[in-house]
Every structure is written in C-alpha cells, then in structure tokens.
Structure 1
Amino acid sequence: MRQEAKTWSLFSLTWPIFIETLLYMVMGNADTLMLSQYSDHAVAAVGVANQIIALTIVLFNFVALATAVLVAQYLGARREQEAVDVSLVSLVANLLFGLLLSAILAAFSEPILRMMDLPAELLDEGTHYLAIVGGFLFIQALMMTVGAILKSYGFTRDTMYVAVGMNVLHVISNAALIFGLFGLPALGIQGAAISTAASRGMAFLALLALLHKRTNIPLAPRAFRRLPFHYLRSLLKIGVPAAGEHLSYNTAQMVITYFITWLGAEALTVRVYTQNIMMFVFLFGIAVSQGTQILVGHFVGAGRYEEAYARCLKSLYSAIAISVLLAAAAYWFAEPLLSLFTDDRSMIVLGRKLLLLTIILEPGRSFNLVIISSLRAAGDVQFPVYMGILSMWGVGVTIAYVFGITLGFGLVGIWLSFIADEWLRGLLMLWRWRSGVWMKKTMVPQAKMA
C-alpha cells in the first residue's frame, strides 16, 4: 500500500508537513495567546511548564525517531514485513514508556517546578497545567509514533488532515474552558490544560484509524501477542543517540530558562512571546528537514547515496534562504506581532531586539535541522550527539551565563548564546555530511540494484 519513493518530490512530502507543523505551533500559540488575555502570570507559568513537557517528549520521542529511520530504510530496501514488525514493536514500547513518564509528571508536578525555581506567584497555576498535560503525555507518545510511521510510508497529507481537525477542536475547547463559554465554568489555565489533553486524545484515535486504512500493519490484539522484540536493539541503537542530542538541547534550554528566572517574571514572559513568533520563522526548516529525512532514508535503504547526498544539500540551501526572509519579516513586523500578546511597551521593545538577532540565528538553525535529520536518516546518529553536547553546554550555556547574567546583557546575552551554539553545531554538521562517513552507517541491507 505504500507509495513508490521514486514518485515523491520534496515538495509533495514537505507541504503537508509544513501545514501540519504550522497547526501544531498554532495549537501551542493558542494556549499562549488566549492565556495572555487571561493573565500574564499564566503565560509565564505555562512557558516554564512546557519546558518540562518538551524535555519529557524528548525522552519518548527517541522511539518515534528511530521508527521513522528504520521504516524508511526498510521500505527503501523493499523489505516491507520488517517495516511492519518495527512499527508494531515501536507502538508497544512507546506506550509503556509514555505511561511511565506521564505518571511521574502527574505525581510530582509541583516538586519539579520548584526545582525549576518557578516564582512562588506562578507555582499553583504551573502545577495544575503540568499535572494535567503531563499526565496524558502518553497519548502524545503514541501520536508521534503513528505519525512517524505514516510519514515514512509517504502519507504526509493524512497527518496534516488530523492536525487540522485537532487544532479546530483545540481552539474551540480552549475558548470554552478558559473563559467559560457555552455555559461552561471559566477554568483559566486548567481549562487550557484539559483542552490540550482532550484534543490530543481525539487526534490519536484518528491517526490510528488512518494507520489501519493506509498500511498493511495489523492492529488487532492478536498481532501484538508475539512481537519480534529483537528490533528493540536497532531502535535503541538509533533512538538513544538521537534522543541524546535532543535531550542535551532541551536540558541546556532548561538551564538557560533557569538563568532567565533570575531576571524576573517579565523576562520569562518576553522569552515566551518572542519564541512563539520565532517558531513560525523556523517552521519551514522543520518541514524541509522532515521531508528530507524521509527521502534520504529511502535513498540510503536502496543504496542511492549520491541522490541522498545531493538531496540534503539542496534542501539546506532552500531552508537557509527562506529562514532569512522569514526572520527579516518577523523583525519588520515585530511591534504588531508582539502587540498581539501584550501592550507592555518595555516588553515590546525588548522582544523587537531579540527578533533582530533572530535574523542571524535562524540560518544557523537551518544547518542543524536539515543536516542532522539527514544524518539520522542514514543511521549516523552518534556524531550529532557528541558535537551537540560540546556546543550546547560548552558554548551555549556558558555564553548565556557570562553574557546574560555576569555581564548584565539579559535576554540579549541569552540570544547571543543561541547564535553561537547554532552556528558552531551547524558548520560541524555540514563538515560531517560532506565527509561521506554516513554512507557506511546504513542500518538495513540495501536493495539489490537492477
């Protein structure tokens, strides 16, 4: 039932991913935008809680990342039964791991936020949000796994359609539960949390139905009785290092967020508002990197290394060009964009400075998004981790503390650390791709060439 890789173009895979990712970002911004009309404190509390949630997602996202790589390579090598087996094992693994992490977040939400040094006036609201959204994160784990499988089979439009439905449901339920519409109680931040969890649950059911319809992957209970768990070794071999790179990034971001708490609640809030705008800037890079990963995975599985090499570089050039244009546009329209979130003049002025620095930051991020995804698709997952740890902590966190705190540059200093980290890692990744070492990292036997 899969589509033939040779009929795919980057555009045909990427535009649905672009729309889907945009809608997921809108979902996150819906909480921020609606809560900004409710309380600036609520926005800051959600911003810190979402740092914890993002870190948790990384911990079970390694299964989804590895699944995408293995399924794409097996399909490229025309070994479809192995692709089915990997998919089933990954679903069970992520369900169990997701349940464990969800239980931890639900039970220990307040102590975790205290460790983050969340200001006392934000603690109660942040605890409620983290307990509800975090307690149901296992649904997100399953969504990511099913979505990765569907995309590797080429059905990127299906995941896009689900994202559309989920966001419509989320925005409506958000408004109803935050502000008390349609006779419902006004629950504020708790309403946003309930809306997020419920809309994700509905989206997962839709994705599961599409997986059953589009692929030959059996979902009946008997299909899970005798699973080939030896595939866990391959999943872990790819997923653990890949997750390590993301885990290092998110942990470093949490430490930097901790530094920002020393600057006060206003700095935390400006960071949340500015990064919500920045998400739309690097959206194109995210979409291109995911589409490129699918193509590179299929090319590598089929032994078509020259096509994989060229595809990555072409995608990189496109991502850099678009990121610069979008970052410049975000800076040009900084005041009206920031005014959507706040009317505090000092916040708007500071946010505008950060968006100016984003013009330098985003091209560096494009290197990492596109090339790391391509390296991962080829099975070369350890190098990005080692270089990531070196750069994120040795450069990013260090410069954030020195420039942001010690020298007193505040959030401007923090943004300078982001720039230094992204560009250093990006150039290292480019060197790795050009070296061709990744061609020896394929995880599955190649297809026999005609």
Structure 2
Amino acid sequence: MSRQPTSRVLDKGLWGMSAPMLVDQAVTFTIPLTDMFFLSRVSDSAAAAVGAVSPLVFAGNTLLMVTAFAGSSIASQRIGANRYDLATATMMAYVLLITGLALLTALAINIGGVFVAGWMPLSAVVEQHAVAYLGVIGWMVALWGLRAAFQTILNVYGEPKWNTASNFVFFAANIIGNSIVVFGLFGVPPLGVIGVAWASVAAIGCSLFFTVAIVHWKLGLRLPLRRGLAEFPSLIRPVVRIAAPASLEPVSFNMYMIALNWIVAGVGDLALKVKVYTFNTFLFCLMISVALSMATEVIIAQRVGRNELDEADRQMRQSVKVALWGTGLLALFWVIFYRPVLGIYTDDPAILALGFWVFVLAFLSEPARTVNIVMGGALRSTGDAAFISYSTIAVIWLFSVPLAYVLTITLAWGIYGVLAAAVVDESVRAVIKWWRWRRGHWREYGVAAREAREARRRDMKSEV
C-alpha cells in the first residue's frame, strides 16, 4: 500500500496558509476584471450584459464550491482526529458528488439562463449579448466546480501554493484566449461575447488538468474509488448536512444580485453599466477576506476535530481583524483612484460622472461583507450552517430586496438606492453572524461531537 501524505495545516498556521491563498485569490479576482476589460473592447453593452447575468454564473460556481468546502471541512475534522483513511474516503465521495452536480449545473445555466435573461428588463442589444454568453458559460462553471474539489484537497493537506500555480495557468490561458477571440489574432475572426465565453471554458480546462495532476502525482494522494462508491451514502451524509443549508446562503445571495440587477436595469442601461463596472472592481477586495476565510475554515475544522475549541475561537477573531484591515485599505484605494480605474473600461463621461459616489457606497459595504465572509466560513467549517443560511435568506428576501426596490424605484434614488440597500443588507447579516458565533452553538456541531451523541443514543436504546 502506498504511503499517503499527512496534513501540514496546523504547522503552517494562519499566515503560512493564507499567504499563498492571498496570491491565489489575487489572481482569481483579477480574472473578472480582465474579462470585463475584454468585453468592454467589444462594447459597453456587452460588458453590461455579462455583468447583469454573471450572478447566475456565480450562483452555479458557489453551489459547487460550497459543496467542496463542506466536504473538505469534514475531511479536515477527520484528519484532526488522525483518521486519514476516513478522510481520503470522504474526499473521494465529495468529488463524485460534485461531478454529478457540475453536469446538472452546466445544463441549468446553458438552458435556463436564457429564460432569466429574457425575464430581465434588458434592452434588445444587451439581451442578445447575455443570451449568447449564457449558452456557453455553463461548461466553464462545471469545470470550475471540479477544479474546486481538487483545490480543497490541496488546502486540507496544507499545500495551497499549488492552487496559486493553478490559477496562474488559468489566468495566462484566459488572457491568451481572450486576446485571440476579441482582437482576432492568428487569423481568427473576432468572435465577440461568445468567443470570450469559450475562452473561459478552455482556460479552466487547462487549470483543472494541472490541479488534478498535482493532487495525484506531486502530492501522491490516492483517492479510494471503490470505498467512495461502496460507502457513498454514509460518507456523504455529514457533507450534505453542511453543504445543503450552507449552499442556500451564497446561492440566495447571488439570486439577490440578479434581483438587484433587475431593479437597476429598470432604471436604464447607464445605471446598469455603472453598477457592473463598480461591482467587478470591488470584487477584487474579496481576495483578502476569501483567502483568510479559506485558511481559517481549514484551521478551525482541524481544531474542532481535535476538540481545541478555545483555540478555534481565538483563530476566528484574529482572522476577522486581519481581514477587516486588509479589505478596508484596498477598498479605500479604489475610492481614491476611482476615475483612472473606471477609465480602464470606458471613456463615457456619463459613467465617469457617477463613479465617485457609487464607489463610496461600495466602500461602505466592505467591512460588513468581510465579516460575513470570514465568520460565515468559520461557522460552516464547524457544521453550524443551517441557522446562518436560513436567517440570511430571510433577511435578503423579506427585508433587503424590498428596501432596494423602495429606495431605487419608489424614492427614485436610482443606482444610489441599490448600493445604499446593499450597505444595510451586509450590516444586518454581519450582526447576525457575530451574534451566532458569540452564542457558541458551533461548539456542539462538529462531526466528532455529533457522532459521539449519536453513539450515546444508540447505547441508551440498546440498554433499554
């Protein structure tokens, strides 16, 4: 039997894990900016179209990534308890689950996305670009989800540096592909929006191949396919217990983004263009909070697996503080240099005129969004996912969407109304997550604690 690798997560700690993840996320969140640049070379309408429907793509990505992170949190807890054979079997099970979900997600976006674009109040030109993009991009989402499964395995074993390399492969392939299809290099005719979509599919395919190769040949990990299939229901049950409720929150949030884009599109194409350019710029701020959240999830999961609950609490608080400083400074940078940033995409004076206050409102939402990302990930990694997901859905659809409509349409605040509503939405959800963590319910949701309770119940029944 070949020697299986061991995890180095706790040896590396927050800085050792998050530093390569930060570079990884910097590359990841540069990709929407570069895509937006190439789309703006086609036209502002093309960029607005893709931006308007991109939350649907993000929702598909999020569903698959949350499932992968749920699986990795269970695997991490198994490793924390020094049960490596069970951890690798869990990895095999969630790779199989994500493979099936990836295919369904791709078909849903490629086919169902057209109906979403038709439902939104887009102009004829913008809708045409959106439909063309959605007809292809689902396959990129599927491959992205498969890559996420293998990337979480590298994180679990304390080797996030290879995910950075994988994203560099994706970034380079994406730049080359987009340059060819947008500018018509090497005799290829310019293919517009549909070419950008196929370039993304090809780029993520290259990155997926690289990541799988690293897991199997460089890391030397052998995933037990037979055991994964034979014990699939029991292995995947604790994963689904986290993934099912946990996926509801981010998927609901991306549907919320679709609703906001629907409201903004009702104001007009100009408001939609400004919103899309601003949103994609501030996505780059997420690189810090997401990197720290990913590192924190793995560390806390292993701490919980070891029953080191006070250390897990201290880790979460440290991660939130560091993330707040990092995202705050980066968001402030965007506000100060808003005009040259928007100038990368467009020279439309109407867009540039709206830019400053739009960027200021986006800046104000960053602290709360950072808390939501880091604390939400920490709660999910412990298994305490259901309450957060259900409360988030309630806040978004019962409060935030109506507030956005009232401010934007009823009170005629336009684009400023949507962004003001986003500030309130993020703040309310951040307070709920902080309150939930302080309550300490997460201490009882670890897979080992849950299995111990179930074992005690079985013993009590057998005694009776």
Given the alignment of the two structures, is residue 16 of structure 1 paired with residue 55 of structure 2, yes or no?
A: no
Does the aligned pair in 2 maintain the 1:88–1:227 contact within 8 Å? no
Is the partner of 2:312 in helix, strand or coil? Answer: helix
- CA shift for structure 1 position 136: 4.1
Q: Which residue of 2 aligns with 1:415?
A: 419
The alpha-carbon deviation at position 335 of structure 1 amounts to: 0.7
Name the residue aligned to 1:104. Answer: 108
Contact 1:67 1:149 in 2 (8 A): no
Whether contact under 8 Å (2:93, 2:229) holds in the other structure is: no
Structure 1 position 298, deviation (Å): 0.9
**1:263 aligned residue:** 267
Paired position in structure 1 for 2:288: 284
State the partner residue of 2:120: 116
Cα separation, 1, equivalents of 2:20 and 2:8: 18
Aligned to 1:322: 326
Flag structure 1 segments of 5+ consecutive residues without an equivalent.
none
1:173 matches 2:177:
yes
Q: Deviations over 1:38-95 (max 9, x none)?
A: 2111101111231221122233334212112111111111111111111111111111
Aligned partner of 2:57 among 50, 53, 57: 53
- Matching of residue 340 in structure 1 with residue 344 in structure 2: yes
Cα offset, 1:224, TM superposition: 5.8
Q: Paired residue for 1:139?
A: 143
Instruction: Quickly say closer, same or farther: Cα 1:199–1:35, change in 2 above 3 A.
Output: same
Would you say the 8 A contact 1:170–1:196 is kept in 2?
yes
Contact 1:274-1:355 at 8 Å conserved across structures: yes
Say whether 1:249 aligns with 2:253: yes
Q: Conserved in 2, the CA contact under 8 Å of 1:177 and 1:192?
A: yes
Of 26, 32, 38, which aligns to 1:28? Answer: 32
Match of 2:371 among 367, 372, 388: 367
Shift of 1:368: 0.6
Residues in 1 aligned to 2:371 and 2:137: alpha-carbon distance in whole angstroms: 32
CA distance in structure 2 between the aligned counterparts of 1:125 and 1:446, rounded to whole angstroms: 49
1:356 CA drift (Å) = 1.1
Q: CA deviation at 1:310?
A: 0.5
For 2:72, the equivalent position in structure 1 comes to 68
Please state if 1:384 is matched with 2:388.
yes
Tell me how far 1:214 sits from its aligned partner: 4.7
Q: Distance in 2 between matches of 1:162 and 1:308?
A: 29
Assess if the C-alpha contact under 8 Å between 1:302 and 1:446 holds in 2: no
Quickly say closer, same or farther: Cα 1:221–1:243, change in 2 above 3 A: closer
1:428 aligns with: 432
Identity of aligned residues (%): 27
- Separation in 2, partners of 1:109, 1:428: 32
Tell me which residue corresponds to 1:77.
81
Task: Report the Cα offset of residue 409 of structure 1.
Answer: 0.6
Letter aligned with residue 402 of structure 1: V
For the 8 Å contact 2:81–2:306, the answer to whether it is kept is yes
Deviation per CA, 1:98-154: give whole Å up to 9, x if none: 112212333344323112333222222211211111134221121111111211221
Question: What is the match of residue 360 of structure 2?
Answer: 356
- TM-score of the superposed pair, with normalisation by structure 2: 0.92
Structure 1 Cα separation of the partners of residues 224 and 320 of structure 2 = 41
Deviation, structure 1 residue 290: 1.1
Question: 2: CA distance between counterparts of 1:224 and 1:388?
Answer: 33
What displacement does 1:227 show? 4.6
Q: Given that residues 316 and 366 in structure 1 are in contact (C-alpha distance below 8 angstroms), is that contact kept between their aligned partners in structure 2? A: yes
d(CA) in 2 for partners of 1:322 and 1:144? 24
CA distance in 2, matches of 1:42, 1:222: 47
Q: Is there any run of 5+ residues in structure 2 with no aligned partner, and where?
A: 453-464
1:148 to 2:155 alignment: no
**Aligned positions, number:** 448
Q: 1:8 to 1:193 in 2, by over 3 A?
A: same
Measure the CA separation in 2 of the matches of 1:337 and 1:2: 44
Deviations 1:271-292 (A, max 9, x none): 1110111112232111111111
Name the structure 1 match of 2:461. Answer: none
Deviation of 1:218 (Å): 2.6
| Aligned counterparts of 1:233 and 1:220: Cα–Cα separation in 2 | 18
Residue 210 (structure 2) pairs with residue 188 (structure 1)? no
Correspondence for 2:311:
307
Separation (CA, whole Å) in 1 of partners of 2:384 and 2:112: 36
CA contact (8 A) 2:245 2:390 kept: no
2:236 maps to: 232
Query: Is the contact between residue 139 and residue 204 of structure 1 (CA under 8 Å) also seen in structure 2?
Result: yes
Shift of 1:226: 3.3
Q: What amino acid is aligned across from residue 144 of structure 1 in structure 2?
A: A
How far apart are the structure 2 equivalents of 1:148 and 1:212? 14
SS of residue matched to 1:340 = helix
- The C-alpha deviation readout for 1:417-446, integer Å capped at 9, x for no partner, is 111111111112112212222101101359
The structural deviation recorded for 1:268 is: 1.2
The AA in structure 2 aligned to 1:47 is G
Q: Which amino acid aligns with 2:174?
A: H
- Counterpart CA distance in 1 for 2:205 and 2:26 is 19
1:396, distance to aligned residue in structure 2 (A)? 1.8
Choose between structure 1 and 2: higher helix proportion.
2
CA contact (8 A) 2:89 2:228 kept: no
Give the match for residue 159 of structure 1: 163
Distance, in Å, in 2 between the alignment partners of 1:10 and 1:333 is 31
* 1:93 maps onto 2:97 in alignment: yes
CA shift, 1:5, in A, is 3.3
Q: Give the drift of 1:366.
A: 1.4
Relative distance call for 1:70 and 1:215 in structure 2 (3 A) is farther
Aligned partner (choices 287, 295, 299) of residue 299 of structure 2: 295
